[in-house]
Structure formats: C-alpha cells, structure tokens
Amino acid sequence: MNLEQIISLLGWSSIINTGLLIYSFLIIIFAKKIIYPIHSRLFNISNTQIDQALYWIIGSYKIMIILLNVVPYIVLKYLL
C-alpha cells in the first residue's frame, strides 16, 4: 500500500464511520420507545442507566473516529 491509498482509506473510513455514528444517534433519538423496553428487560436496568450507557458508547465511538481516522487523515493529507 502506498501513501495515497492509505490517505484514501482513512478518508473513506472517516466518512463511513461518521455516517454510522449519525445513523446510530438517529436510531437512539427516534426509537427510544422500542429500545428502552427491550434493554430494560434484557439487562434489568432503568431508563436512566440506558441513557448513560448509550451516551458513553456514542461518545467513545466519536473519540475513536477522531483519533483513529480523522487526525491521521488530516496529518497525512495536509502536512505531507
């Protein structure tokens, strides 16, 4: 793999992962009435705990996208 292919891979990976992040956020926002009862029964937790877990998961995923995809893409694209 040469440098141009790596830059392209990181760019597409950033786009795809950001799309998945937005999709999962929209699912959480618009499908709460479906998500809460299922997870409450499966894991025996309250709606507040579900909110906290989802917030932590979405936040962690966003940080990983930035650190592992966006930052290397910017560095390789614009500084080299």
Query: Can you say whether the dihedral through the CA atoms of 54, 57, 60, 65 is positive or negative?
Result: negative
Q: What phi and psi, each to the nearest 5 degrees, are found at residue 2?
A: -95, 175
pTM for this one? Answer: 0.87
User: Which pLDDT does position 53 carry in this prediction?
Assistant: 95
Q: What is the pLDDT of residues 11-68, one digit of tens each?
A: 999 999 999 999 999 999 999 999 999 999 999 999 999 999 999 999 999 999 999 9
- The amino acid sitting at 9 is L
Both tokens of residue 57? 């998961």
